[in-house]
Structure 1
């Protein structure tokens, strides 16, 4: 099972996420849940860099992806960054709703 955890700051913005494990839905290379979660997370990391001009601290390896951000002072860029981080959580919840908590569990720390 994949565990997707999200941490928020005092203002409610997601400041980090971590996803660990494998869904077990299908064999490696055929698992659409793992692929979906990975695509959502990696797209957000790239978008944080390209759209918000942020430099997220991230780490990727087989069965693990994590990202932590520090929001910029610029309010517009901070809003873009917060929206992108929230979109990772929303995407994971949608995958969880479609395929069940036996494959993906999303929680807030």
Structure 2
């Protein structure tokens, strides 16, 4: 199962996001749930870096299905919109395929 932990501040602003695990929806190379989550996550972080210039630290271990991003400051409006778009996509995957394959947790830090 993919576990997504979204860290927010008391006002709901994004502080970071962490992905861990594999969906195990299908065999490696054919797992559309894992692929969808990976594409959304990587594209969002790349977009924030390139288009928004917001700074973050990122850590990854692809074979373990691990990716973490910690934002260094309050996100710009553009980066915030990209994160909301990411969450919309992740929530859609969760609704379509179920919590057996992806769980999303929101925590205040």
TM-score, structure 1 as length reference: 0.88
- For 2:40, the equivalent position in structure 1 comes to 40
SS in 1 for 2:58: strand
Task: Output the CA distance in 2 between the equivalents of 1:60 and 1:30.
Answer: 21
Runs (5+) with no aligned partner, structure 1: none
* Distance in 1 (alpha carbons) for counterparts of 2:24 and 2:66: 14
- Tell me whether 19-28 or 57-66 shows the greater mean CA deviation: 57-66
**What SS does the corresponding residue of 1:93 show, helix, strand or coil?**
helix
Deviation at 1:17, TM superposition (A): 0.7
Query: Are 2:76 and 1:78 aligned?
Result: yes
Distance 1:56 1:26 in 2: 32
In the alignment, the residues of structure 1 paired with residue 70 and residue 86 of structure 2 have an alpha-carbon distance, to the nearest angstrom, of 12
- In 2, Cα distance between equivalents of 1:58 and 1:90: 21
Q: Does the Cα contact within 8 Å between 1:56 and 1:70 map onto a contact in 2?
A: yes
Tell me the equivalent position of 1:92.
90
Shift of residue 90, structure 1, vs aligned partner = 1.7
- Report what 1:14 is aligned to: 14
Given that residues 23 and 101 in structure 2 are in contact (C-alpha distance below 8 angstroms), is that contact kept between their aligned partners in structure 1? yes
Unaligned runs of 5+ in 2: none
SS class of match (2:36): helix
SS at match of 2:11: coil
Matched-pair contact (CA < 8 Å) for 1:20–1:64 = yes
Task: Give the secondary structure class of the aligned counterpart of 2:103.
Answer: strand
